[in-house]
Amino acid sequence: MTTWGWLMRVAFGTAAVGITTAAGLLFVYQRALIYPSSFPEGSRTEVDTPEQYDLPYREMRLNTPDGEKLHVYVMLQQDGEKDEKLSEERPTIVMFMANAGNMGHRLPLAVVFYRRLGCNVVMLSYRGYGLSSGEASEHGLRIDAQTMLDWIQAHPILSKTKVIAYGQSIGGAVSIDLAARNSRKIAGLILENTYPKYFDIIASYLLKYIIDPDDSDLAEIQKEDPEKQSSSSAKDPDDTWDDERKAIL
């Protein structure tokens, strides 16, 4: 065997081992890549409350059919003695968050929906996120979303309102799936930075943490691929909203 041939075999062998190792690691850690529920640090133990943003709210634990407990915030519109009537007249935004952090990180956006747009707001931490029990999975998130909608449909006030699903990042996929299965119960969709497919989520994190681990702005990577942009994007209404998005993406 010539020296050239030997070098080629070594090179191909090294490449094969590297690819196999990378594929194995991706298989083992794929759930952590798709559902980084512990990022930022403290996300599984520290969840901000609407009270910190001067929003009236009810905190509750919602039981899913498969035995998980979801941490939920419910914010109804209020107007003195006519609270119930005002809540019934306003639409309800159900917020499905991105795949990192917890619902407390999205409270600045809830402020926009509640105060600027006058909507009722319902938000939850998926299973495996924040103070919710369990471990995140595609099937689990579908159950969580349906459980949330079923609760709204049974609520004495919210059941009378138009329900709009808002989805950020992976929450967009959750919202679309929920609307597809409940077309008569969802009046509208708002999608922000939603991924066309699960592979794009993994690819984005590989770009961020493996190819360029020092790059902390995933949004800049996404700008290079127009297909990753939301099908319904809008300019952020204020710096608070923008800061909240940058802290998570």
Q: How many CB atoms lie within 10 A of CB 18?
A: 10
pTM listed for this prediction: 0.70
The pLDDT-based confidence of 236 (bands split at 50, 70, 90) is very low
Instruction: Tell me if 59 is assigned to some domain.
Output: yes
In a domain, 4, yes or no: no
Provide the edge-to-edge strand list for the sheet that holds 120-125: 58-63, 69-75, 120-125, 92-96, 163-168, 188-192
pLDDT single digits (tens) 74-95: 999 987 655 678 999 999 999 9
Specify the number of domains making up the chain. Answer: 1
Q: Does a structural domain hold residue 40?
A: yes
CATH number at residue 43: 3.40.50.1820
Is residue 103 domain-resident?
A: yes
30 inside domain: no
Q: Which residue has the higher pLDDT, 84 or 211?
A: 84
pLDDT of 102 over the 70 cut: yes
**28 located within any domain:** no
Query: Do the domain assignments include residue 24?
Result: no
What pLDDT score was predicted for residue 32?
59
Give the structural domain span for 131: 35-194+230-248
Distance CA 137, CA 139 (A): 5
Q: What is the pLDDT of residues 147-201, one digit of tens each?
A: 999 999 999 999 999 999 999 989 999 999 999 999 999 999 999 988 655 555 5
The angle formed by the CA atoms of residues 115, 118 and 121, to the nearest 5 degrees, is 85
Task: Tell me, yes or no, whether 65 lies in a domain.
Answer: yes
Interhelix angle for 198-206 vs 3-34, to 10°? Answer: 120
